[in-house]
Structure 1
């Protein structure tokens, strides 16, 4: 009887050791799936807001005297608010690190804008009757910014830029 009890204790100890060896790998895989899912969600949300901002600029961008779409600084600012919050002049943000401010340099000759906001950059380019919006969003992971390599080479940076281009033609 004591031989059977000793054998059960050894099996329980072996199962605990196996769990200790496998659990970090399983947790790492769960975190990778969670981060990748979050990345896809944020990319989809960013793509949707850029598309809405492009539609807004197409609807309200009045043709200038040269039959080229005329984007005013007010329209560019409202498009920036649409991208960051989904609404005109709202302080709520759809994505983390995505804030809108009112500063923007404009090139009045080419009707192009580059807006550097908190956490992203918005470029509005008008060529003939096409409007192109480019958003570069600084995506940050939740669990860790750096992944150690356990060598002298340093570590991997897990944050990177999500880039969304959207071009629409004014009819």
Structure 2
């Protein structure tokens, strides 16, 4: 029985380049997916902090001591929405997340002594375009939507 010698290096030329070109698209797709996932988590964290700030703002002003309960006026709700979107009670500045509007914010009383601020936002990945209407085909014919709804809710007791 004879041992077969290894092929010479000259016969293996270019194999690494072919393997690299086959693996490169998968590696780039994974890199893009990790980057988009990180961006989504960052935007969710910003939305959660904005809902905390807005809830802290409304909780400090919503308590009506004569009624012994929370009283939310339309003006206070509008200011709270502005705090959630712009960071200030006035309707000025830029949104904390691009595309976020005051229509995405809901301010409500919970019980007689708590207030809740809910921010609903649709995350759009870079590959989906700016209108977030994109989708990719699934393996079995069903479309996979690229938009991901993010909901940040905070409940605090009125002071």
Q: What TM-score do you get using the length of structure 1 for normalisation?
A: 0.76
CA drift at 1:42: 0.5
Q: CA deviation at 1:87?
A: 1.9
Q: Matched residue pairs, number?
A: 146
Match 2:123 to one of 128, 133, 139: 139
The structure carrying a bigger strand percent of its residues is 1
Q: CA deviation at 1:99?
A: 2.2
CA distance in 2, matches of 1:70, 1:16: 69
Instruction: Answer yes or no: is the 8 Å Cα contact 1:64–1:70 preserved in 2.
Output: no
Aligned mates of 1:121, 1:169 — CA distance in 2: 18
| Unmatched tracts of structure 1, length 5 or more | 101-116
* Alignment-derived partner of residue 10 in structure 2: 7
CA distance in 2, matches of 1:146, 1:123: 32
CA distance in 2, matches of 1:81, 1:99: 9
User: Quick check: 2:70–2:109 contact (8 Å CA) kept in 1?
Assistant: no
Aligned to 2:27: 26
Using structure 2 for the length normalisation, give the TM-score: 0.81
| Cα shift at 1:78 | 1.1
Q: What stretches of structure 2 of length at least 5 have no aligned partner?
A: 1-7, 129-133
- Measured after TM superposition, the shift of residue 158 of structure 1 is 2.1
Secondary structure of the residue aligned to 1:40 is: helix
Partner of 2:137: 148
Question: What is the CA distance between 1:140 and its match in structure 2?
Answer: 1.2
Please report the RMSD computed on the Cα atoms of aligned residues, expressed in angstroms: 2.0
- The answer to whether the 8 Å contact 2:55/2:155 transfers is yes
Shift of 1:126: 3.5
Kept after mapping to 1: 8 A contact 2:81/2:105: no
Q: Tell me the secondary structure at the aligned position of residue 143 of structure 1.
A: helix
Looking at both structures, which has the greater relative contact order when contacts are Cα pairs under 8 Å and sequence separation is at least 6?
2
